[in-house]
């Protein structure tokens, strides 16, 4: 128990994959499976997040959607309010 104070704020940068779906753009969801290409979401909190841009690009290539997607940076902020 080395920490004597509670951390009340945390901010990190993560990356998401945005794919072209018919006429709109959606995030690749956490439930995306290669066999079912319909697991997209419009909600950022349901999107699959990656720790680096390289990881996101590798995932897009593995999923076979690297030609119709882009990787975007998102900021994740957590704050405790008492």
List pLDDT tens digits, range 35-49. Answer: 565 588 889 888 999
Q: Mapping DSSP to helix (H, G, I), strand (E, B) and coil, where does residue 68 land? A: helix
Q: Which residues lie below 8 Å from residue 38, measured CB to CB, with a gap of 6+?
A: none
Q: Rounded to whole angstroms, how far apart are CA atoms 63 and 19?
A: 11
pLDDT of residue 36: 60
Residue 1 tokens read as 């128990």
List pLDDT tens digits, range 5-30. Answer: 788 899 999 999 999 888 899 999 88
Model confidence, pTM: 0.78
Q: What is the DSSP letter of 29?
A: B
Q: Which residues lie below 8 Å from residue 31, measured CB to CB, with a gap of 6+?
A: 39
Residues linked to residue 24 through DSSP beta bridges, in sequence order: 21
């Amino acid at each position: 128990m080395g920490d004597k104070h509670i951390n009340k704020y945390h901010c990190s940068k993560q990356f998401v994959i945005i794919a072209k779906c018919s006429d709109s753009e959606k995030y690749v969801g956490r439930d995306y499976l290669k066999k079912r290409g319909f697991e997209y979401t419009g909600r950022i909190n349901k999107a699959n997040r990656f720790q680096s841009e390289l990881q996101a690009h590798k995932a897009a290539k593995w999923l076979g959607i690297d030609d119709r997607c882009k990787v975007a940076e998102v900021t994740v902020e957590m704050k405790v309010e008492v």
